[in-house]
Every structure is written in structure tokens, then in C-alpha cells.
Structure 1
Amino acid sequence: MPPFVLPFPQIDPAIFTLDLGGFSFSLRWYALAYIAGLVLGWRMIVALMRRPRLWPAQTPPMTPDQPEELLTWMTLGVILGGRIGYVLFYNPAQFLANPAEIFAIWEGGMSFHGGFLGVILGVVGFAWRKGAPLLSVGDAVALAAPLGILFGRLANFINGELWGRPTDVPWAMVFPHAGPEPRHPSQLYEAGLEGLVLGLVMWWLALRAGWLRRPGALIGVFFLGYGLARSFVENFRLADEQFRSAANPLGHVIRFGSQPDAWGLTMGQILSLPMVAIGLGFLAFAMTRRQA
């Protein structure tokens, strides 16, 4: 055990609970993170629509009141896509045996990649319905996305879930329900890289470098930045239980070698690395087009 281990903050995952006779309702930090991310993201997009000079030909892709409808599409995409993605990508056998658990979203279990695909479909549906320029709408949504990721990963930390691998770094933590070993607080790594750092870079590019005038450029930055950050943090994050075994303790879905500690790729990396290629493709497309 390292000489210094940071204590895990004892924060109740439920902010409050209402007990109404035979029925109880809890507002959890996990749910609040989704709500805050969506609502603040909506307000950020509204603010962008009120700054015409940022957009091609000084014409925003939406009126300031249209992002409210976009919020509905995004909410459905995040919830449905996140849950379906988790069921399909991470634990299909368990949910096939217990299909009723698919709808127990309040118990946790959401896939970022599934939610991301859901948001993409929502943005495409909204842009098609409104006749809005798809790439510019996508750029606006991409700018708001890191804030939602930041809140979501902080909620994972409060829940004491998705913890990291055992380590002896000075900032290691002993997580509830994760055994006595000090571990990487990998949720905070993701919050910092995928949320805070990526968000600051993207907002600087939008407000200072004028990249919103290159439709698709910020979509590319988000794909590239998230794919690289998530792939890196997967080296410190403990893989989901269903992927781990005595012969494969690191939970690599693809292994290059037969030893238990052989180098390999986790499910998170398999799903994230294609985002790097897609991001580079969007950036190449945006940068080779004539700037408006």
C-alpha cells in the first residue's frame, strides 16, 4: 500500500429521498448530472445562436428558440442510446437472461458510445426536420458535449463506480465495494481530460480561432479528442467485470500474447479508436473546404 492514500469522500449517491407511504422517490447525483448537462448544454447552444459573427456568412444554423426542440431530440438520444449501447456493448448476456433489468436506468449502466450514437441520430433527425445545416448544428452540439461528460464522470465518482486499476500513486483511493486495494480515480481522469480539457480547447477554437466558420471542424475535434483521451484513460481504468477473469485480469477484449498481463485493447478502446479516424476525416474535410 502506498504511504499516502486519499480518503474516498462519503457522498450519498441520493441527494434526497421522498418516502410517500408505499412509494419512495430518490433524486440521485447520477440523474442530476444528465439533467444539468442537457440543460446547460441547451443554454450554451442558445448563446451561440445569438452570436452571428461566429458562423459561416454570419448566419447561425438555428434561431435562438430552436435549440429547445433540439434538446428534446438530444435527451431521447442520450437516454435511449446510452442504455441500449450499454446492453449491447457491455453486458448482453445478463440482460438477455433478465430483460426487465434493461429498463432499470436508475440503477446505473449507461454507455457513452451508445449515448453518443443516440445524440448523432437526434441531431440528424432535428436538422432534417428543420432544414438546418447539419454540420453546423453538429458543431454546436459538439461544443456543449464536454460539459455533459464532465458532470457524468463526476457522478460516476460520487457513485463509487467505474473505478481504476490498483496502483501505488500518491493520489490513489480505496473505493467502496472495490476491495482493499488503493486504485486510480479514473473517473476523475476522464472528467478532466474528456470534459474540462477537451471543452476548453474546443471553446478556444470556436471563440478565438473562428473554427465555427468551418462546418464540421469542431465535430472532428470532439471525435479526435474524446477518442484519444478515452483510449489513454483505459490504461488506468478497470475493465467491466464481465470482461475480466483469472487468465485475463485486465479485461482486454483483444490480447496480443497469451500471458495474463499481455498488452491488448479494452472494449472502451475498441469503441474509441475509430473515433480518432472519424475525427481526422472530419477535420480534413472541414479544413480543405473554402472558409465562409
Structure 2
Amino acid sequence: MLPSISLFGFFELPTYGMIFFVAFVIAVIIALRMAPAYGVLDSDLLYASIYAAIGLAAGAKLMYFISKLPQIIRHFPTFVQLIKVSPVDALAYAFGGLVFYGGLLGAAAGVYVYCRQYKIPAYPFMDITAPLIPFVHGFGRIGCFMAGCCYGIEYHGPFSIQFPYNEMIPELSEVSRFPVQLLEAGMNFIVSAVLFILMKKKKTKTGQLLGIYLIYYTIARFCLEFLRGDLIRGQIFGISTSQIISFILLPAGIILVRGKWIEKKLNRG
């Protein structure tokens, strides 16, 4: 566990943020190499990446707030009091985390807005980004492991992890835990490699790579949630927010894999 890295002894940078930033930059570089094959200009890809980054940050924060909303409503008088005493702490409580699905949807919205604004087709971005989403997400989960967030359930079998004490997450070190972050990272890297292979063989239609990813990840995430030990991401009737979103997004993946909707759109265009 390494929540932050000290630079030159002057200031510390969050490990999660550094890992994610480097992975995102590498993904953009890879995307630039793939762009010509899909008829996408480098300039469009770079600007779309900026839009995606903004949407990602906004979406991840907004979804975190939505997941915290039931707790805020339940303890609203206490939350109001916290706002009066320390607005900064209140903001940290409401927006202090990130939710992957919010970031994914926000990034997709950012790319869509850019494409609509400059009247360029959005479909090529589906294929370019499909293998890169799990690539970046895999490194993000390694960052989660380093930070101690998104931790697993209590577990005492092989590969169990005993995290050191962290005053920000005191319950983390109370028991040994299942390394769910590393499991998800490995699964993401595997599906990223599979999607790159499928892309290289050119046996998929437009949008199908993204559809395959969505089908894989929504099912995998639904199952992985049962191995999560943190409760801050919100639950409704015993089902986590991420499981609900997985259930909603699964049909989108199936539609993309079937390909008929996009074919009609492309033929119409």
C-alpha cells in the first residue's frame, strides 16, 4: 500500500492519480497510432480525449455523489451542520470519491459532445477506445490497491492481504482482505489483450468491440461486487449501485454486438 509518492521531499502526489494519468496518456498515444486506420484525424482524437477527460472526471464525481445521496438524505441534519462547520469537509464527504461507471459514461458523453459539435462520426471512436478502456481501468485498479480504496471482503485464504493502518480508512486494516482490486486489474488486462487481438484480425463490425467489452465487464463487475468489502458506494435493497448500472448497461452491449442498429445508422448516414 502506497497512497502517495513524495517528490524531492517538497510535496506528495497521490499514487492513484499518478498511475491513472500515466495510463491515460499511454492510451492516448496508442489511440493516435490506431486513428489513421479508422479515418480519424490526430487533432480530432486529441481534442476528443480532452473532452473525454473532462467528462470522465465530472461523471465519476457525480456518480459518487449519487451513490452517497441516500446516506446524505438519511443524515441530512448532520450533513447541514457539517456544511456550516466545515464546507470543505462537507464537499469531501459528498464528492470525495470516484465511481468507474460514472467516469465511463461521462467520458462517452464527452466524446459524443465533441463529435456532435464538430459534425464528425462518433462510431470510429467506439472501436478505437474499446480495448483501451480496460487497459486504463486495469492500471486504475492497481492505483486503488495502492491507495487502499475499493477493498475486498474479509478473507483468510491464499493471496489474502493485510493492509497497514490508514487513518482515512480505519476499518481497512482490521482484518485480512481479498485482493479484489488486483483480480479486477488482471481481468481488465486480459480482456484488453483479447480486444486488441480481435481488432488486429479485423473480424468485427463497427461497435462490436465495445459491445464485447460491455458484456464482459457488466457481468464481471456484477460478480466482483460480491467480493467488495467497502460500503461507501451505496446499496439499494442489498444491490450495489454498480450492480444496478451493470444490469442496465448489459443490453447496450448486446445491441452493439448484434450490430444491426449501427449498420442502419451507417447506411442512413
TM-score scaled by length of structure 2:
0.82
2:191 & 2:261 partners in 1: Cα distance? Answer: 20
Q: Which runs of 4+ in 1 moved over 6 A?
A: none
Verify the 8 A CA contact 1:167 1:182 in the aligned structure 2: yes
1:188 aligns with 2:182: yes
Deviation at 1:142, TM superposition (A): 2.3
Deviation at 1:147, TM superposition (A): 1.5
- CA shift in 2, pair 1:161/1:288, >3 Å: closer
The equivalent of 1:267 in structure 2 is 241
Verify the 8 A CA contact 2:32 2:42 in the aligned structure 1: yes
Q: Structure 2: which 5+ residue stretches go unaligned?
A: 165-169
Q: 280-289 vs 171-180, which deviates more? A: 280-289
2:183 & 2:213 partners in 1: Cα distance? Answer: 17
Number of residue equivalences: 249
Deviation at 1:186, TM superposition (A): 0.7
Verify the 8 A CA contact 2:51 2:107 in the aligned structure 1: yes
Matches within 5 A, 1:136-147: 136-147=124-135
Verify the 8 A CA contact 2:60 2:102 in the aligned structure 1: yes
- CA shift in 2, pair 1:101/1:207, >3 Å: farther
Deviation at 1:123, TM superposition (A): 1.1
- Note the alpha carbon deviations across 1:90-112, whole angstroms, 9 max, x for none: 3564497246457659x951011
The equivalent of 1:248 in structure 2 is none
Matches within 5 A, 1:56-75: 60-75=38-53
2:100 & 2:19 partners in 1: Cα distance? Answer: 13
- Out of 284, 287, 290, the position equivalent to 2:258 is 284
Matches within 5 A, 1:7-18: 11-17=1-7
Verify the 8 A CA contact 2:145 2:181 in the aligned structure 1: yes
Verify the 8 A CA contact 2:126 2:207 in the aligned structure 1: yes
2:105 & 2:90 partners in 1: Cα distance? Answer: 18
- Note the alpha carbon deviations across 1:204-227, whole angstroms, 9 max, x for none: 11112432xx21111211211210
1:82 aligns with 2:57: no
- CA shift in 2, pair 1:62/1:241, >3 Å: closer
Verify the 8 A CA contact 2:233 2:240 in the aligned structure 1: no
- Note the alpha carbon deviations across 1:137-156, whole angstroms, 9 max, x for none: 12212221111101110000
Deviation at 1:179, TM superposition (A): 3.7
User: Secondary structure in 2 aligned to 1:128?
Assistant: helix
Deviation at 1:198, TM superposition (A): 1.6
1:150 & 1:87 partners in 2: Cα distance? Answer: 23
Q: RMSD across aligned C-alpha pairs, in angstroms?
A: 2.8
The equivalent of 2:17 in structure 1 is 31
- Out of 249, 254, 258, the position equivalent to 2:237 is 254
1:67 & 1:172 partners in 2: Cα distance? Answer: 41
Matches within 5 A, 1:147-186: 147-176=135-164, 177=170, 178-186=172-180
The equivalent of 2:195 in structure 1 is 202
Verify the 8 A CA contact 1:83 1:114 in the aligned structure 2: yes
Verify the 8 A CA contact 1:29 1:158 in the aligned structure 2: yes
Matches within 5 A, 1:41-60: 41-50=27-36, 52=37, 60=38
- Whichever structure has more helix as a proportion of its residues is 2
Q: 276-285 vs 169-178, which deviates more? A: 169-178
- CA shift in 2, pair 1:232/1:93, >3 Å: closer
The equivalent of 1:249 in structure 2 is none
The equivalent of 1:233 in structure 2 is 224
Write the letter of the residue equivalent to 2:134. Answer: P
2:91 & 2:22 partners in 1: Cα distance? Answer: 22
Verify the 8 A CA contact 2:233 2:241 in the aligned structure 1: no
1:116 & 1:79 partners in 2: Cα distance? Answer: 9
